Amino acid sequence: MKTVAVKTGRPYEILIEHNILDRTGEFVRPLTKAIRAVIVSDTNVAPIYADRVKNSLEQNGFETSVFVFEAGESSKRLSTIEKMYTHFFEHNLTRTDIIIALGGGVTGDMAGFAAATYLRGIDFVQIPTSLLAQVDSSVGGKTAVDLPTGKNLVGAFWQPILVLIDPETLHTLPEAFFRDGLGEVVKYGCIRSLPLFERLEKENAKDLIDDIIYECVSIKRDVVEHDERDTGERAILNFGHTLGHALEKLHHYTGLTHGEAVSAGAAMITRISENHGMTAKGSAERLENLLKKYGLPTDTDFALSEIVTATRGDKKSTGKSINFIFLSEIGKCYIKKINTQDFGKFFGV
């Protein structure tokens, strides 16, 4: 087992081990006095893994129920959260009980937000089953839902009490969603780890998945510990995300996964920053080659002017500017504010 300790305001551990799902109750029980547990999962994951987690929780004394929502980003709405609240109420969930997020990034975001807000906050555990959630979204305490006007615009910071990562769940992950997660993995190599980037270039990601997960969550742990509330350094985790979120919005959150959007956004912003002399020459080409190796997009059919317009209202906006993350070179990055009135000049639109 690999363990990553996260020392935020409420410390917790990330445990990485094959088949740890069957030991969920064993690891959760010492952390809580909860009588009841609600597993939150979606229609893709629940049929495969919910019973295993439920059985483990019940064997360790938890009265356990399962709330299942329709899989997909389109469910990441306040209307789904309201249904979740109703389930919690009907199953007598109290402030000392616990929520288990079992699934990908959408599940973790929503279950975490529901945990942060129901009865003004109850504990929750993250059990990410997608690569994207395992390497990124399950760690750090960001929870959110989407609005029609944009992604993740309503949310809360609410740290889990435990994260359990079972690499075995990736065997049931469709190839498209494994590729989706690699968009975030490449991001970590770009912003903080040249060795990770180089390994992805030279080797096959599937052959080193345990190392990838450990490396990515360790990087995120370090960043989150320095900036838990996302007021400074944590912004570097948004490399590729500003243009990526704009692309998701233009696609109406269908047909383009989050990782694919981040991939395209990262390639696009690196080409632009390199053209401005802000990024070492050759970085954009090297990044594009790696993304293409794993079948990830590096561009879009939307006009750049449409993408720039769609960045309006991005949650990374501060006053009349937006924080963008640029690479100084592969493995190193920095944050720079771009005034919205300078977008035309900067993006050439």
110-142 residue pLDDT tens = 999 999 999 999 999 999 999 999 999 999 999
Residue 185 lies in a domain: no
Please answer whether residues 215 and 188 qualify as being in contact, where contact means their C-beta atoms are separated by less than 8 angstroms: yes
Specify if 322 maps to a domain. Answer: yes
**Residue at 99 is within a domain:** yes
Residues 85 and 161 both lie in one domain: yes
What is the average pLDDT across 76-88?
A: 98
Q: b/e string for 40-79 if b means 16 or more Cβ within 10 A?
A: bbbebbbeebbeebbebbeebebebbbbbbebebebbbee
pLDDT at 319: 64
Residues 15 and 58 in one domain: yes
pLDDT the model gives residue 316? 59
Structural domain count of the chain: 2
- Rounded distance, CA 114 to CA 120, Å? 9
Contact 268, 299 (CB under 8 A): yes
268 contacts 259 by C-beta, under 8 angstroms: no
Together in a domain, 61 and 202: no
For the cut 90, the answer to whether the pLDDT of residue 333 exceeds it is yes
pLDDT(312) > 90:
no
Do both 102 and 67 map to the same domain? Answer: yes
pLDDT for position 314: 65
Retrieve residue 95's tokens. Answer: 């402030």
- Residue 283 belongs to domain with CATH number: 1.20.1090.10
Asked if the structure places residue 106 within a domain, the reply is yes
> Domain check: are 164 and 79 in the same one?
yes
One-character DSSP codes across 269-306: HHHHHHHTTSS-TTHHHHHHHHHHHTT-----SS-HHH
Residue 193, pLDDT score: 97
Amino acid at 138: S
What is the domain range of residue 21? Answer: 2-172
Does one domain contain both 18 and 106? Answer: yes
Task: Give the Cα separation of 261 and 125 in Å (integer).
Answer: 27
The answer to whether residue 62 scores a pLDDT higher than 90 is yes
- Token pair in block for residue 330: 């592969």
First to last CA, the chain: 51
Q: Are residues 137 and 87 in the same domain?
A: yes
Q: Give the CATH number, domain containing residue 156.
A: 3.40.50.1970
- Mean local confidence (pLDDT), 1-6: 96
Q: Does residue 328 have a pLDDT over 90?
A: yes
**183 in a structural domain:** no
Query: Is 179 domain-assigned?
Result: no
Give me the pLDDT at residue 311, please: 87
Q: Does one domain contain both 146 and 272?
A: no
Within-domain flag for 110: yes
pLDDT band at 349 (very low <50, low <70, confident <90, very high): confident
**288: nearest Cα among 269, 307, 305:** 269
* 232 and 291 co-located in one domain: yes
Segment 300-309 shows an average pLDDT of 93
Q: Give the tokens for residue 5.
A: 């300790």
Percent of the chain residues topping a pLDDT of 70: 98
Tell whether 221 and 320 lie within a shared domain.
Answer: yes
CB contact burial 1-22 (16+ within 10 A = b; e otherwise):
eeebebeeeeebebbbbeebbe
**Digit-coded pLDDT (tens) for 240-276:** 999 999 999 999 888 899 999 999 999 999 999 999 9
31 lies in some domain: yes
- On whether both 307 and 215 belong to a single domain, the answer is yes
Judge contact between 131 and 180, C-beta under 8 A.
yes
Angle value at C-alpha 261, between 256 and 267, nearest 5 degrees? 140
Q: Which of 116, 141, 172 is the last residue of a domain?
A: 172
pLDDT confidence band for 348 (50 / 70 / 90): confident
Residue corresponding to tokens 């449409």 = 306
- Domain end position, chosen among 110, 144, 172: 172
The reply to whether 274 and 309 lie within a common domain is yes
